[in-house]
Structure 1
Amino acid sequence: MSREIGSLSRRDVLKAGGIAGLTATAGCIDLGGGGGGGAYTIGMVDSRTGSLSAFGQRNQRGMELALADVNDVQIGGRDLDIIVEDSQSQQQPGVSAAQKLVNQDGVPFVIGAVGSGVTLAIYQSVIQGTDVVQLSQNSTSPQLTDFPGLLRMSPTGRTQSTALAEIIAEDGHDSVAVTWINNDYGSGIKDAFVDAYEGEVVYNASHDQGQASYSSVVSQMANTDAGAWLFITYQPEFTTMAQEAYSSGVDDQAQYYGADSVRGPEVLDNTPEGSLEDMKIVAPSAALDQENYQSFASRFEEEYGSAPTAWSAYAYDCVVTAALSIRAADDFTGSALSEVVRDVTRPSGEEAFSFEAASDILADGSASDVDYQGVSGPIDFDENGDPVAYLQIFNVADHAYESVGFVTGE
């Protein structure tokens, strides 16, 4: 299924985008100006369905806000179109989605994907060896750092793993039981944690995605007598584990810790009151103190009735970075875009906190003259395609997430 939206006002685009988000979950949507003709068209692979669909929904909303902002200004008099394809939160559908975008639609720039394993599969199967630019909106696995041609907006999980190791140690735990989802995201975060943690990892085992029960994982963790349990998995899988730990009476045996993908309102809604008390989670964060983020958050709440997450901010910044790259490039080709995509976010240029301000700088200058400061914070892609890391620590109290601090790092 596809949906085209023409050259509408920002609010009209947002309203139409919201409708598309409800009706086009199995196909693709074509958001933005005019379709075909005078528009620049890029692609996006997102988790419209599957285990990571909660992230996909937030991405789509951030994308819609960014697309509206870009098309209010336009790129040299032309609109931006984004063709969105569903990865279904799995590698093979994600690869198929990217193949469609690159081989059939001919896009030179792909935003994608959410899960690190999906992102890597797309890069290795579709993007690597071509001129197409790939910029992941949500992938955090440290393994992505090994592929300098693959860019990402969310920070590497290596910093997250180090923060988790330090927090668990500071809480007085000299042993930990770790379960991790059996993919590139899970193994990457786990490996970095094991390297950083100075205590004893008494349980270190993977689990598969999408299982109906994880009671064996819970019982094996309980048998270790570890005072800390670390969950590196996705929201549906963690929700099931937390439910089963509660029902078997072992939920108070250890303090819970989690990587970024276990946090979400759906988890709280589907776990018993008190079952997650004192759990600590480290997750990527937007720059909450920046004025452009606060404006973004206010608009997000106005349009969607809920506060944004860092994932929405990352998706917003992916779209703006793509649009600025198009504005700065000599041609609308992958090779031309790849030459400037890093430069438009680097600190050597003049700081700009919106697409409009950055576009004004580019009107009389080059990519190196602008330093786009995202709503997620400074981006500053390094030689490995990684951005600056900015993380937030959450604690569960009275069955709600409370922010208790921030962590920064390279």
Structure 2
Amino acid sequence: MVDRHGSNRTRRDILTYGGAAGMLAVAGCISTTDDDGNGNGNGNGNGTDDDDDGNGNGDDDAVYEIGMVDSLTGSLADFGERNQRAKDLALEHVNAVGVGGGELDIIVEDSESESQAGVSAAQKLVNQDNVPFLIGAVGSGVSLSIYESVIQDTDVVQLSQNSTGLGLTDFPGLLRMSPSGRTQSVALADIISEDGYDEVAVTYINDEFGESLYDAFEEAYDGTIAYESAHNAEEASYSSLVSEMNGSDAEAWLCITYQQEFATMVTDMFESGYEPQLYGSDSNRGDTVIANTPEGSMDGMKLVEPAAPEEQDNYQDFAAAFEDEHGESPTAWSAFSYDCVVTAALSIEAADDFTGEALGEVVRDVTRPEGEQVFTYEEAHAILADGGTADDIDYQGVSGPIDFDENGDPRGSLVVFEVQDHDYEAIEFRES
């Protein structure tokens, strides 16, 4: 394993030290002479490698470790499961080509779908594993907590795979692959009005994600919000809440929440005999909702979530590989996770050093429209390996064009799902 603890070490140094690992691994770790004794070396060696091609891309078996905080358990575990499958597929594709003369490795830690556990996971990755690039997390509140508690005021790059909360826009140093939820809120306001409902009852999860999407919906909706209330996560029952929503006499109900909570709500509605027209955001949809709600209890519900470019060749190749491996189709969220890994790998390939500072200088550029459009890691890698720079490529992700703006937000489009026969069917695509 290549030691990356020297924060100013160049990629060429990494490759040189990696080739010498067998000679210097007496203590199982490579260090520099100006290490501070705590594994935080500040060496700036400029060694060369006989196999180096002049761009720092030698042939040694360097391993570049980055981190990932994902929802392996908890209320967002459906997202985490698909994220991990997409991450594994991206690693397979990246390492088949190579990165920086070596390969990419990702240390994964569980956020448990909660902010506190997410912060602990990020602290371990940044402070113990010394990763310069962190993919994370699922859930806007988790991502923001990680940024404010761990990442802010450091050089570590954070790129969230699944966060749509509007508040992330206020932190330009926190990048995200999924678009802002403002587009979902506006779309939901339009759809509810188009469906003829001039009154709606709304409940939203009591965190940054829920509050920000509700605020944007309230601003965009032309009708009357007959009822609104926040709810806490992981309650055993929401019967009182749904009773209050029913008491508002609004025929349309909007639930901005997570899968576990929504499944409980739907069951409470069904058992109470309530039959509202349901609407929801991206986080309402998932296999656990279908599995844990009564047959027919959600039929007719409409949900909005970011869309994947299904007509794009690179998405079709990604989806086919995903289906071959796992026997099911990926989601847009899977595509976001895949693109996080590829973006990290391209940043490593394009950067002068394997440090957060150097990666931060190129991470936006590898997806910008000024460069040549490339649709796979292999295409982008070929340009970089031939002497190109980050400005020479515009990676078009399997999730679509990325093009991070000044706030760290990407482009995006939306798909509308309707629940039919207790399953989700895509019925409409909308540009954001």
Q: Return the TM-score normalized by structure 1.
A: 0.90
Provide Cα deviations, 1:28-64, integer angstroms capped at 9, x if missing partner: xxxxxxxx97201100000111111111001000000
Give runs of aligned pairs for residues 16-31 of structure 1, distance below 5 A: none
1:380 match: secondary structure: coil
2:311 match: secondary structure: coil
Residue 109 of structure 1 corresponds to 133
- Cα distance, 1:76 vs. partner? 2.8
Residue 336 of structure 1 corresponds to 358
Aligned-partner Cα distance in 1 for 2:360–2:214? 31
Residue 53 of structure 2 corresponds to none
Provide Cα deviations, 1:44-89, integer angstroms capped at 9, x if missing partner: 0001111111110010000000000000000132100100001111
Give runs of aligned pairs for residues 4-403 of structure 1, distance below 5 A: 38-250=62-274, 252=275, 254-363=276-385, 364-403=387-426
Paired AA for residue 296 in structure 2 = G
Residue 14 of structure 2 corresponds to none
Provide Cα deviations, 1:382-408, integer angstroms capped at 9, x if missing partner: 000001021100011121211111112
Residue 24 of structure 2 corresponds to none
1:40 match: secondary structure: strand
Q: Is the 8 A contact 2:373 2:393 kept in 1?
A: yes
Aligned-partner Cα distance in 1 for 2:382–2:226? 56
Paired AA for residue 301 in structure 1 = E
Q: Is the 8 A contact 2:157 2:359 kept in 1?
A: yes
Give runs of ≥4 in structure 1 deviating > 2 Å: none
Q: Is the 8 A contact 2:132 2:156 kept in 1?
A: yes
Aligned-partner Cα distance in 1 for 2:287–2:78? 10
Q: Is the 8 A contact 2:61 2:102 kept in 1?
A: no
1:93 match: secondary structure: helix
Aligned-partner Cα distance in 2 for 1:400–1:52? 19
Q: Is the 8 A contact 2:278 2:298 kept in 1?
A: yes
Paired AA for residue 181 in structure 1 = I
Aligned-partner Cα distance in 1 for 2:105–2:299? 44
- Cα distance, 1:265 vs. partner? 2.0
2:361 match: secondary structure: helix
Aligned-residue CA RMSD in angstroms? 1.0
Aligned-partner Cα distance in 1 for 2:382–2:62? 21
Q: Return the TM-score normalized by structure 2.
A: 0.85
Identity %: 65
1:307 match: secondary structure: coil
Structure whose CA Rg is larger: 2
Paired AA for residue 314 in structure 2 = N
Aligned-partner Cα distance in 2 for 1:97–1:397? 39
Residue 10 of structure 1 corresponds to none
1:176 match: secondary structure: strand
Provide Cα deviations, 1:185-226, integer angstroms capped at 9, x if missing partner: 111111111111111111111111111000011000000010
Provide Cα deviations, 1:360-396, integer angstroms capped at 9, x if missing partner: 1112211011000100111110000001021100011
Residue 7 of structure 2 corresponds to none
2:319 match: secondary structure: helix
Q: Is the 8 A contact 2:78 2:287 kept in 1?
A: no
Aligned length: 372
Aligned-partner Cα distance in 2 for 1:114–1:284? 14
Aligned-partner Cα distance in 2 for 1:58–1:187? 26
Provide Cα deviations, 1:232-268, integer angstroms capped at 9, x if missing partner: 0011110011011001101x2x210000011112212
Aligned-partner Cα distance in 2 for 1:90–1:394? 27
Paired AA for residue 256 in structure 2 = I
Provide Cα deviations, 1:344-374, integer angstroms capped at 9, x if missing partner: 0011110111000011111221101100010
Aligned-partner Cα distance in 1 for 2:181–2:404? 15
1:59 match: secondary structure: helix
Provide Cα deviations, 1:112-133, integer angstroms capped at 9, x if missing partner: 0001100000000000111000
More deviation, 162-171/359-368: 359-368
Aligned-partner Cα distance in 1 for 2:366–2:162? 20
- Cα distance, 1:307 vs. partner? 0.8
Gaps of 5+ in 1: 1-35
Paired AA for residue 412 in structure 2 = A
- Cα distance, 1:305 vs. partner? 1.1
Aligned-partner Cα distance in 2 for 1:296–1:147? 31
Aligned-partner Cα distance in 1 for 2:80–2:367? 24
Gaps of 5+ in 2: 1-59
